[in-house]
Structure 1
Amino acid sequence: MHRLPARPLLLAASIALALAACGAGSEDQVLAIPPAPADQGAAEVVAAPAVAAFVDTAFTNQRGDARYATLATNAGVRVLGGFLQVWKPLTEIVDAGVGADAAAGFPAVLPSAWSGVPNDGSDGGTIVNAAVHAANIDYVVRATAARTPAQALQAYLDDRRAKGYSVTDGLGPLTAAWRAAAQQSTTITAIADDAGVKLYNDGGNNTGVGGAANPGFGAVVDLVNLVGTNGSTEPAKRFYKYARPYRWSGAVQVLPALVPAKSSTPATDGGFTSGHAAEAMRDTLAMAYALPERYQELISRGLELGEARIWAGMHSPLDVLSGRIHATAVVAANLADPANAAKKSAAVAQAHATLMAATSTTADSFPAYAQSGAGGDRFADHDVNRANYLRRSTYGLPLVSAAGAPAVVPKGAEVLLETRLPYLSEAQRRVVLKTTALPSGSPVMDDPEGWGRLNLFAAADGYGAFSGNVVLAMDAARGGFHAADRWRNDIGGTGKLVKQGSGTLRLAGNNSWSGGTELTAGALEGDSASAFGSGDVYVSGGTLIANAPAALQLAGRYTQLAGATTLELDLGGGARGSLAVAGDAVIAGGTLHIKFAGGYQPKAGEVLTVLTAGRLTGRFAAIEVDGRSATPSYSGSALTLTIGG
């Protein structure tokens, strides 16, 4: 939470509110205070689609039932049903349950036997969309031909090393502490010289030691293992019968060190969906739930392991992106299960207590340490992670249906943001998922529930659009993201943001929402020029902070009421950190606090234009400048400060 310096330099005493409309000092008119931005109506509510919910039927996805799985009987098969727009497996009609299957909108079929070797593509099924299928296999051909040594090493490690161990490098500065606390181990650390002729298996312990045997971290390990319940990809493999990419094309170059890992029984070795990719995503989603300070980095690592399967030549893009979809639904089902509530909270508490102790951090310093980039963090660049996440979500494959269809949000999916956006309600998290969803039309992704289009990376950066009144209450006393968070999405819509509570929210997107912003308590920080959209900004309590690289632009009006209100400008030279209001700026009192950011220090006698407006009326009751004296000068359109010593 923002606090003023202990000994501020007070430069202007309280002034009467009966100030001239021009703001120049005469007192013959009463200051006209505009109303707060208009009420935009009830907040958006996103209902669950009226279809069978994965979270209610996850128990049907059982490895032992793989031979008899259908879209109507198995949730893991059903969630990937969009693949039928690309590939139709060879099937056989069954008599029992035809009515139920038909009522559910699915064919009453079972997968029939196949050799696993496609030859001309007819053995095992029929290519429905030749363009998508060709692009899918060609992607692997090109990726394996251009494979770098670093990708080759990553592909080998991610194939032979246990996935639970492998993905922990997504923790960056916390990797060593996590592995030590979990008591994880691996025996795969490099590519052996004879790996091309000898198969090496990991003799480590994957996710580590759970339960009572690990009193300091066992609950965390248990959570990672727990989310794999009902997570088998075997039913999908057996139903869809889509071959590995190297069986489709001899131009696919399987990593030589992984040749011994190729199955000798193709008929039981389907490529769709990738078990490695699904397990990696399950593990990283569980870790991100327990440690949301690394949420985006961890799920980025989960998708990277999926791409490593393509570099290896073992899987195609459709194989691995379907692993993301399958895993997301499985994890949500387990996290949403009321029976696991205590296990979830125990894991979150234990993860933070143990890792803070291991890194000599506190609740206040831990988030910054987790994001510090220390120790060669491969996932330190947010923008690179975001670009990779988007690319790995679709792999640029041809569309199978029109783009622009409205997004739907699966029942229970909001639980995936429970620790990342803890200050939002379940209903608000569902709106976040809807407003950040991936575009429609890509292969496999338009399942009826909406699992395929979830963009959890973007969702971790907050809303994508406001509709109605979006009321945000953050309680700094609860710590973590309750105390401070940053939204980096470009927020659109016609809604209104109302910031309440003692916490601090930073907005860093190229925002355009039009319903306005009202700050009643805590702090609201603008880290981009258009942070507050295109509407009015109204401060009735708390601190509004301008910390943009250039001037913070307000397209409408700015109003600051008297009392416990502060406008903080973090100046950095030029227009950085200043406030530019296109409409009226009405200052009915409160405090102006000037800070100097990034080592910037103006010269004595320098005149700084800190606030401009279409029309400026009123004055601040107090002006505080960190470490310097200053003399204010108001005009009808600007406030300048002459800096002293």
Structure 2
Amino acid sequence: MSASHRRLPLHIALLSSIAVLTACGGGNKTDSATTASSAANVAIPAAPADPGYVDSAPVPAVPAFVDTIATNQRGDARYATLDTNAGVRVVQRFLDLWQPATLLVDAGASATANGAFPAVTASTCSGLPASGVACGTILNSTVLSANVQYVINATTGRTQAQADAAYYDDRRNKGYSVTDGMGPLTDAWRSAAQQTTTITSIPADATTVVYNDGGNNVGVGSAAGNSGFGAVVDLLSEMGNNASTEPAKRFYKYARPYRWSSSVVVDPTLVPAESATPATDGGFISGHTAEAVRDAMTMAWLVPERYQEMLSRGLELGENRILAGMHAPLDVIGGRMFALAVSAANLTAYSADAQTAYTQAHQTLQQLTGTTDASFAALAHSGTASTDRFADHATNKAEFTRRMTFGFSQIESTDAPPVVPKGAEILLQTRFPYLSADQRRVVLKTTEIVSGYPVMDDAEGWGRLNMFAAADGYGAFNGGVTVSMDASRGGFNAADTWRNDISGTGKLTLQGSGTLTLAGNNSYSGGTQVSGGVLAAGSAAAFGGGDVYVGAGGGVKIAAPAPVTINGKYTELADTTLELDIDGNGGGRLRVGGQFTVVGGTLHVKFVNGYAPKAGDVIALIDGAAGAAKFSTVLVDGFKATPVYSATGVSVKLSAS
């Protein structure tokens, strides 16, 4: 089968197969004159009304990081201020908790026996002793005490496996570390990038000797002769431009957790790596986290088939900094925010290089793995829990969500409106190539975390961006949402799944030729219209609470593990296809609460998940008042079928093909 045939939209492929199935006895075709006669007597409902407006996410009227990233210069770290440095400004809500001074305070006043904070003020600063801690005024002792207590709990309760992971993520170059988030693609990625590391085990004397990674971090670039993957490596290197965390560290002067409390247990293998110069070794923000999340975000952009897994890996490395005893949760949160801002700014600045790298990444990885555009995504997700620790979507989602806030309580308004930073939409460009930039901004807006958490309510909006949730599509339909997919372009243009629980009063319209699956517990109420392509239901409440209208050229696929309920009306016109994937346990069935109208479309029944009915069985398919509804063609894989219409639904009676 040719690649072009494999990419045929589902409804076209199904319609093209009708002649073959009918010829071998695989279906039943209703008399067209009868159908036309029935259609003349059927009142066809109108499509769901257009809401008349489209949601938007305006750019906030504040200085944008993507416009000012060049001000974040490592060499200017000593003199960085909120006004002069974008890297300092992006995490400025830390000033709600801590007011930095210009000196350090003696470590003897750093903590009580219980690990609580003393009343540190600028007036207590006295010189720059090697054992000192960051000097400043604590403005919110509740949050900052919880910040350090979290590390105490994590480091006193960590397992050996967690300690080992913390060592590797500390000592290895971050670009090498995070590539194992590629799962089944890891070996191919590292081979193509020619990545190396010298940290392959934990030496017996690691408790007394510092071992630094002598590997090449992100790999070998094009200038060094890597013609097959050099553009990818070059982009990862470019993403580090203007990305130093040193200005923020110098400005905020907030100490690492083990300097705040002796109850923090630094992993013994990392004690030799502790800095002897606290004055230049601030904890806020975490440089390891910032670099790891930046690299992971870039790799996710280049291989969006592993988008959420790579982002999960980036935040995992951030948490390993806490388990190491080297950083506190707020350090990691700040590092994440900074990394997203840097990623958006540099993807924008190097957009042409990014597009070249994206193409090269797919061409080379597919060649190395023996896949095609059509099979690459399946391989990317072919791992199991034993071979790919990011294989389970639900686990990744829970861990990512937890690592966004690390259990902090909200300390201010919990219902502030979402804010989307200027340029942030580029972070989703390859994940949703069929959405416009404005639509991707709305995806970010409708999936943001709620407000009120420490540090995260920055004026631009970087702190509340939930990139894992955003990769699962819209969180709400506010107004009209029109999606147009092109199956001939392959990848996510041909098939995609939105897993979020979509709320709102808006309407979804699908156009084009691709297949979009809705898999969340949806409640949007504005209705659904399919004008082209195939809209698939991957959950019982996929279509929300409104009407579903399938126009000519469109298709609907019911593939949920439980019956799918349409609370409103269901209307299907001629030149359409309804596919039901029946599993014998309720999956694939359709329940219509309102008027059920079908005028000449095709019904295609598949039996899935091992379900094997026999000739003579009557299979219930659709529940709903279907007395006047008639399909022009009924196809049942493997059987001849006689449709049975009644006042309460549609069934098929099977006979041998």
* TM-score, normalised relative to structure 1: 0.93
Aligned-partner Cα distance in 1 for 2:250–2:105:
12
Question: Any conservation in 1 of the 2:420–2:462 contact (CA below 8 Å)?
Answer: yes
Question: What is the deviation of 1:610?
Answer: 0.2
Aligned-partner Cα distance in 1 for 2:448–2:531:
30
Q: Is 2:104 the partner of 1:114? A: yes
Question: Any conservation in 2 of the 1:160–1:201 contact (CA below 8 Å)?
Answer: yes
Q: Is 2:631 the partner of 1:641? A: no
Q: Is 2:288 the partner of 1:271? A: no
Name 1:546's counterpart in structure 2.
558
Q: Is 2:388 the partner of 1:377? A: yes
User: Equivalent of 1:226, from 238, 242, 266?
Assistant: 238
Name 1:109's counterpart in structure 2.
none
Letter in 2 for 1:523: V
Question: What is the deviation of 1:632?
Answer: 1.3
Question: What is the deviation of 1:113?
Answer: 2.8
Letter in 2 for 1:348: Y
Question: Any conservation in 1 of the 2:283–2:327 contact (CA below 8 Å)?
Answer: yes
Describe the shift of the 1:382–1:413 C-alpha distance in structure 2 as closer, same or farther (beyond 3 A): same
Name 1:425's counterpart in structure 2.
436
User: Equivalent of 2:32, from 15, 20, 26?
Assistant: 15
Name 1:345's counterpart in structure 2.
355
Aligned-partner Cα distance in 1 for 2:72–2:39:
77
Aligned-partner Cα distance in 1 for 2:40–2:511:
33
Question: What is the deviation of 1:475?
Answer: 0.4
Question: What is the deviation of 1:506?
Answer: 0.6
Name 2:114's counterpart in structure 1.
none
Alignment of 1:29-108 (within 5 A): 30-90=41-101
Name 2:364's counterpart in structure 1.
354
Q: Deviations over 1:292-325 (max 9, x none)?
A: 1000000100000000000000000000111000
Question: What is the deviation of 1:631?
Answer: 1.6
Aligned-partner Cα distance in 2 for 1:480–1:33:
36
Question: What is the deviation of 1:13?
Answer: 2.7
Describe the shift of the 1:49–1:14 C-alpha distance in structure 2 as closer, same or farther (beyond 3 A): farther
Please give the secondary structure, in 2, of the residue aligned with 1:466.
Answer: coil
Q: Is 2:341 the partner of 1:329? A: yes
Describe the shift of the 1:627–1:236 C-alpha distance in structure 2 as closer, same or farther (beyond 3 A): same
Name 1:107's counterpart in structure 2.
none
Question: Any conservation in 1 of the 2:477–2:504 contact (CA below 8 Å)?
Answer: yes
Please give the secondary structure, in 1, of the residue aligned with 2:137.
Answer: strand
User: Equivalent of 2:484, from 459, 473, 476?
Assistant: 473
Letter in 1 for 2:296: T
Aligned-partner Cα distance in 2 for 1:259–1:341:
41
Name 2:504's counterpart in structure 1.
493
Question: Any conservation in 1 of the 2:54–2:478 contact (CA below 8 Å)?
Answer: yes
Name 2:5's counterpart in structure 1.
none
Alignment of 1:522-541 (within 5 A): 522-540=533-551, 541=553
Aligned-partner Cα distance in 2 for 1:116–1:343:
49
Question: What is the deviation of 1:615?
Answer: 5.3
Q: Is 2:466 the partner of 1:455? A: yes
Q: Is 2:312 the partner of 1:295? A: no
Aligned-partner Cα distance in 2 for 1:637–1:565:
22
Aligned-partner Cα distance in 2 for 1:574–1:509:
20
Question: What is the deviation of 1:574?
Answer: 2.7
Alignment of 1:548-627 (within 5 A): 548-562=560-574, 564-614=575-625, 616-627=627-638
Name 2:6's counterpart in structure 1.
none
Where do 5+ consecutive residues of structure 2 fail to align? 1-8, 111-117, 126-134
Please give the secondary structure, in 1, of the residue aligned with 2:32.
Answer: coil
Q: Relative to structure 2, which stretch is displaced further, 154-163 or 79-88?
A: 79-88
Q: Count how many residue pairs are aligned between Structure 1 and Structure 2.
A: 615
Aligned-partner Cα distance in 2 for 1:29–1:567:
21
Describe the shift of the 1:379–1:333 C-alpha distance in structure 2 as closer, same or farther (beyond 3 A): same
Question: What is the deviation of 1:42?
Answer: 2.0
Describe the shift of the 1:17–1:85 C-alpha distance in structure 2 as closer, same or farther (beyond 3 A): farther
Q: Is 2:247 the partner of 1:235? A: yes
Question: Any conservation in 1 of the 2:35–2:632 contact (CA below 8 Å)?
Answer: no
Q: Deviations over 1:61-80 (max 9, x none)?
A: 11111111111111111110
* TM-score, normalised relative to structure 2: 0.92
Name 2:520's counterpart in structure 1.
509
Name 1:444's counterpart in structure 2.
455
Question: What is the deviation of 1:617?
Answer: 2.7
Describe the shift of the 1:116–1:438 C-alpha distance in structure 2 as closer, same or farther (beyond 3 A): farther
Q: Deviations over 1:67-104 (max 9, x none)?
A: 111111111111101111111111xxxxxxxxxxxxxx
Letter in 1 for 2:435: L
Q: Deviations over 1:214-269 (max 9, x none)?
A: 10000001111111111111111011111100011111000000000000111111
User: Equivalent of 2:178, from 167, 182, 187?
Assistant: 167
Letter in 2 for 1:430: R
Question: What is the deviation of 1:398?
Answer: 2.2
Letter in 2 for 1:12: K
Aligned-partner Cα distance in 2 for 1:220–1:616:
59
Aligned-partner Cα distance in 1 for 2:545–2:39:
33
Please give the secondary structure, in 1, of the residue aligned with 2:383.
Answer: coil
Question: Any conservation in 2 of the 1:510–1:530 contact (CA below 8 Å)?
Answer: yes
Q: Is 2:529 the partner of 1:518? A: yes
Name 1:188's counterpart in structure 2.
199
Aligned-partner Cα distance in 2 for 1:453–1:528:
28
Question: Any conservation in 1 of the 2:304–2:431 contact (CA below 8 Å)?
Answer: yes
Letter in 1 for 2:357: A
Q: Is 2:335 the partner of 1:318? A: no
Question: Any conservation in 1 of the 2:518–2:536 contact (CA below 8 Å)?
Answer: yes
User: Equivalent of 1:411, from 402, 422, 436?
Assistant: 422
Name 2:130's counterpart in structure 1.
none
Q: Deviations over 1:27-77 (max 9, x none)?
A: 697111000000111211211001111111111111111111111111111
Letter in 2 for 1:319: D
Aligned-partner Cα distance in 2 for 1:493–1:472:
17
Letter in 1 for 2:511: Q
Aligned-partner Cα distance in 1 for 2:313–2:62:
31
Please give the secondary structure, in 2, of the residue aligned with 1:357.
Answer: helix
Q: Relative to structure 2, which stretch is displaced further, 401-410 or 115-124?
A: 115-124
Aligned-partner Cα distance in 1 for 2:358–2:216:
22
Aligned-partner Cα distance in 2 for 1:282–1:241:
23
Q: Deviations over 1:350-371 (max 9, x none)?
A: 0000000000000100011011
Q: Is 2:407 the partner of 1:396? A: yes
Question: What is the deviation of 1:616?
Answer: 4.6
Describe the shift of the 1:581–1:356 C-alpha distance in structure 2 as closer, same or farther (beyond 3 A): same
Question: Any conservation in 2 of the 1:17–1:30 contact (CA below 8 Å)?
Answer: no
